[in-house]
A and B are shown apart, each in its own frame.
Chain A
Amino acid sequence: MPFSINDKLPLPPVGAEKKNVTCEFCIVGCGYTAYKWPKGTSGTPKRNALGVDFTQQQPALSGVWASEQMVNTVRDRDGKEYNVMVIPDANCVVNQGQNSARGGAMAATLYNKSSFTRDRLLDPQVYAGNNLARTTWEDARDLTARVLKKIIDDDGPDQVAFKAFDHGGGGGGYENTWGTGKLFFKAIQTRSAAIHNRPAYNSEVHATREMGIGELNTGYYDTELSDTLFVIGANPYETQTNLYLMHWAKNLQGATVAAKKKEFEKGETAEAARIIFVDPRRTVSVVNAIDLAGKERVLHLRIKPGTDVTLMNALFTYILEQGWEAKDFIRKHTENFEKTAKANKTSLSDAAKITGLKAEEIKKAAEWMAKPKKSGHRPRTAIFYEKGVIWGIKNYENIASIVNVAILTQSVGRVGTGVCRLGGHQEGYVRPAPPKGMPGRQNLVVVDAEAAQGNYLAFFAWGCNPFVDSIMGERLATSFKRRSDIVKSAMSRNIGADNETMADAIYRACKYDGGLFFIDVDIYPTFKSEVAHVSFPAATTMEMNLTSMNGERRVRLSEKVVDAPGTSKPDCLIAAEIANALKALYEKEGNKEMAKRFEGFDWKSEEDAFKDGFAGQGAKMDSQGGPTGTLATYDLLRANGNNGVQNPIVKVSNGKLVGTRRLYTDNKFGTKSGKAMFQPTPQPPIPKQVANQMKKYEFWVTSGRLNEVWQSNYHTSRLPMPSTRWPIAPVQINPADAKAKGIRSGDLVMLYNDYGSVRGVAYVTEETRKGELFMAFGFPNSPVNNIVTDFVDPDTKIPFYKGTAASLRKIGRVEDIADSMSFKNRV
């Protein structure tokens, strides 16, 4: 436990330091308050900084309380120890005082030498013969710069590949995407780039952008006003928790009818919302929605995997046949309608055959989304999608087919509507483009596939874990290991050499012997550290000031609370270290032109990177702040507190930043013509690679997230509760399949196909259907991506993580695993 208590909390004394923190985990970006006070001082049950009288039992829901995971002890660089408490902020409009299982444990994730976070990376490391050994920043950056310089000079910058976060929240943020982006794209000038969770450098939502609609166009408050929520390929109770529990739940229970009456047109019907889920699995989100709204107001379309486009096209066709489309809007504000309507024509009966749904179910969904309400008004439908379709059979058509229905029903721009991705992590994008620009989406390099095949001389894995989050993970890991070993033996032969000699040996091993120089930037050691030659320790949320935006474009300054562990630094300053080291090498050589490329990194703090990037670039760069991002300052953001400001910023008024609740209220869309563009979306076929696996192997395998586990499980595999709950990735198996295979919950099982194999623990449940397995994603000790094919959508280079086939074998039983986790039904 972060804190050594069991039945008693330390309390912040009155006057304890108080900071705003945005949750470092999911896209919802809940607001938290952090208190910090010197160890040894304490508030009393009656008098404390929380202003709570703890001699009284706190009431349910509205009570202020900290669980043991919400407190910790840290040691700052001044050598002193402090207690820290991080609790959800009741005044934040996003979460209104509520935490999820993930965010509530933020205090526990802080570095504490006597807790499970003790293995945080503290100092840079270089490979020293047997293992990585701690060294100085000067040494690590000098060696790195020398190797990079040789590659840039002799082989060109594209031989330096990088895979890095592009997001907000912990391990991201505007400061850090800018710092890393500026290093790789402006200074090094490589185009061999891939994003943390996918094999190329691409948007996950090219389609909606090209149709003129940015993917985060509504606000959470608007979802309290929707008549119908349509959710496809997403499981928001587990992955966008407080959006579901604090906003949707109210609407489903009818608690927002009064607000609807205020915001709707005169005489317009205002009732509790209905919700539609499209998901092959019976998810926790579906089951809980039934509790909230009642069976009659929840529709679960248990679709056959990979047939979402057909469903969307059938909805499109049926709505049109009924005359429920938004005629006036389509005429004035859209283009490509006729062509799309013709190309996408799909009858209910055909759709039923392909999707495995009943025609009646599809009809009902169409009615909920588009049939005029009792008052005759068009229903206000909010449409949400996420990885189930983003990482589906074909990324481009999947998204486009959803947006088509949104445009058809004018589910964008109006109160209570929107067509949005739900999102995984928060956002935090501001980066330059490489000098010649990136190739078009169809010509993007699939960096991970190239690396697996032996391309590149240097590879940065920055704040991500390519072994867990890429296509054909097993093949990629094997290749990295083999190529890393080549460099390691060269380094071993040169132990004791100066950095120039060492850099030369490394370079030669890469250039002539097939080696790969691997640089790791992270906060914990992971399996990828085993292939690294240099490692830089990074800081994360609460260890630096960090700005990001959530799923409704709400930008906050998440303040620094504690010092980063050891000598670790914010990623933007690590990027600056490397850039400045390269600059020094070029200057020394008298190469002014190259030295100039590495200028502009004289940052003293993350705020300097913020001023240069988000607040400095405006419309000059690809920035989520847009032209008015330049209005933002740390001071103004701090003044707006945990409620921040929703991008785009409109103005500063009385010292407050004023933003935008919902986009496209003026029906001006992001295309050349300003009109929203329909797109023909034929049902994509099953990719060849996947079809081959389906022929040879027994089960369809899909994957996804678990409520308690975050991203590559870096913090959560260490925290006591999630690590006990999920020691390795569960494989959900339908009872009928389990019976046929003689498998019980708790058995270790192996999934295997032509691409590799992966172990997991059997979890027998009705969540999945017969013939379909579901495995949790993102577990480094059991990465389902080992059995994912190398297929990517040729139009966007986004993989089909959600679909592969594999056979299932029982390995046996490890009693400690079987006995320590619950296998009870979650639905």
Chain B
Amino acid sequence: MKEESTTRRGFLKGMAGMTAAVAASPALMASGNPEKENFYGYDEKVVGLASKIKSAGSIDFNYPDNDSPCKAVMVNGQIKAYSLLCTHKGCPIVYNADKRAFRCPCHFSEFDAELDGQMIIGQATENIPEILVRVDGDKIIAYGVNGLIYGRESNLKG
């Protein structure tokens, strides 16, 4: 396990030496290159076009399966994508493009789209899971999920 993952999510920090990490987590393994983690078991999926995000501001898609709504947005010239299921009790969170943040209408948790989904305020115990995407030409390709999606025992269910 790397000291720090590419995504800098707090809970991945400082995990060096936690040997159980890999064993308990078959799907997530560090590849050795801190810039690129391999999320085993996840299928790569084209989820939209970069040009569309540039014009529309965001695109909705499902990943890793159809029960998991997600949104890709453009922040600071970068495409970032997140699960839309609130990590508190699973309500669909709503994107505020001006604030570049998501807000949950159920109990008002807010997540920062510019900071890996950090909870700005709210009642979730986890930041919002980030969908890892890369851009290939105009294609946006999802290749993994960082963080457990609400309502699942595994992101890759079944």
Contacts and interface: CB of A to CB of B under 8 A. Distances in A.
A764 to B, nearest CB: 14
A284 interface: yes
Contacts of A7: 25, 27-28, 39, 145-149, 154-156
A821 B25 contact: no
B158 interface: yes
A223 to B, nearest CB: 17
B21 interface: yes
A8 to B, nearest CB: 4
A101 B152 contact: no
A69 B13 CA distance: 15
Given A101-B125, A284-B121, A58 B150 contact: yes
B24 A720 contact: no
A137 interface: no
Contacts of A3: 24
A724 B90 contact: no
Interface in A1-58: 1, 3-11, 45, 54-58
Given A8-B25, A824-B112, A725 B118 contact: yes
Contacts of A59: 90, 151
Contacts of B90: 58-61, 63, 65
A246 to B, nearest CB: 9
B131 to A, nearest CB: 12
B27 A8 contact: yes
Given A99-B123, A725-B119, A60 B112 contact: no
A59 B91 CA distance: 8
A461 B10 CA distance: 32
B10 A721 contact: yes
Contacts of B12: 1, 6
A768 to B, nearest CB: 15
Interface string B19-53: 11111111110000000000100000000000000
B2 to A, nearest CB: 12
A230 interface: no
A825 B150 contact: no
A449 to B, nearest CB: 36
A780 interface: no
Given A60-B89, A114-B17, A724 B118 contact: yes
A104 interface: yes
A736 to B, nearest CB: 21
A116 B150 contact: no
A824 B100 CA distance: 9
Interface residues of B, number: 64
A5 B148 CA distance: 9
B85 A60 contact: yes
B152 A54 contact: yes
Interface in B86-141: 86-92, 99, 101, 105-108, 110, 112, 114-115, 118-127
B151 A63 contact: yes
B25 A5 contact: yes
Contacts of B127: 721
Given A55-B158, A822-B115, A826-B110, A4 B101 contact: no
Summarize B's interface: helix, strand, loop or mixed: loop
Q: How large is the interface on A (under 10, 10 to 19, 20 to 34, 35 or more residues)?
A: 35 or more
Contacts of B87: 67
Contact of A104 (B91, B123, B150): B123
Contacts of B118: 724-725, 821-822
Contacts of B151: 57-60, 63, 65
A498 B97 CA distance: 70
Nearest to A62: B89
A721 B157 CA distance: 26
B13 A720 contact: yes
* Most A C-beta atoms less than 10 A away, residue of B68, B107, B125: B125
Contact of B154 (A45, A69, A98): A45
Summarize A's interface: helix, strand, loop or mixed: loop
* Most A C-beta atoms less than 10 A away, residue of B11, B67, B89: B11
B150 to A, nearest CB: 6
Nearest to A244: B107
B102 to A, nearest CB: 11
A552 interface: no
A54 B12 CA distance: 25
A820 B116 CA distance: 10
Given A45-B158, A826-B121, A4 B152 contact: no
B123 A6 contact: no
B30 to A, nearest CB: 11
Contacts of B106: 60-61
B89 A63 contact: yes
B18 interface: yes
Nearest to A104: B125
Interface in A703-759: 707-708, 720-721, 723-725
A5 B12 CA distance: 9
B24 A824 contact: no
Interface string A411-434: 000000000000000000000000
A100 interface: yes
A42 to B, nearest CB: 10
Given A4-B21, A721-B127, A60 B119 contact: no
Contacts of B17: 114
Contact of A707 (B10, B15, B101, B122): B122
Given A9-B154, A55-B158, A67-B124, A237 B11 contact: no
B25 to A, nearest CB: 5
A117 interface: no
B91 A61 contact: yes
A2 B123 CA distance: 19
A68 interface: yes
B153 A68 contact: no
Given A1-B15, A4-B15, A101-B125, A9 B112 contact: no
Contact of A9 (B22, B146, B153): B153
Interface string B62-90: 00000110000000000000000111111
Interface string A91-105: 000000011110011
B89 to A, nearest CB: 5
A723 B119 CA distance: 12
B24 A4 contact: yes
A501 interface: no
B57 interface: no
Interface in A79-118: 98-101, 104-105, 108, 114-116
* Most A C-beta atoms less than 10 A away, residue of B12, B99, B121: B121
A98 B123 CA distance: 9
A116 B86 CA distance: 25
B146 to A, nearest CB: 7
Contact of A114 (B18, B91, B125): B18
A371 to B, nearest CB: 31
A64 B101 CA distance: 26
B125 A8 contact: no
A455 interface: no
Contacts of B10: 720-721, 723-724
A68 B89 contact: no
B123 A824 contact: no
Interface in A572-599: none
Nearest to B28: A6
B148 A73 contact: no
Interface string A618-649: 00000000000000000000000000000000
Interface of A: 1, 3-11, 45, 54-61, 63, 65, 67-70, 73, 98-101, 104-105, 108, 114-116, 237-238, 241, 245, 284, 288, 291, 707-708, 720-721, 723-725, 820-822, 824-826
17 contacts: A1-B15, A4-B22, A5-B24, A6-B28, A7-B145, A7-B147, A7-B148, A8-B27, A9-B154, A57-B68, A58-B151, A60-B85, A63-B89, A101-B123, A108-B125, A724-B10, A824-B110
3 A-B pairs closest in CB distance = A58-B151, A4-B21, A60-B90
Given A1-B12, A5-B21, 7 more contacts: A5-B148, A54-B153, A57-B157, A69-B125, A101-B123, A708-B119, A822-B112
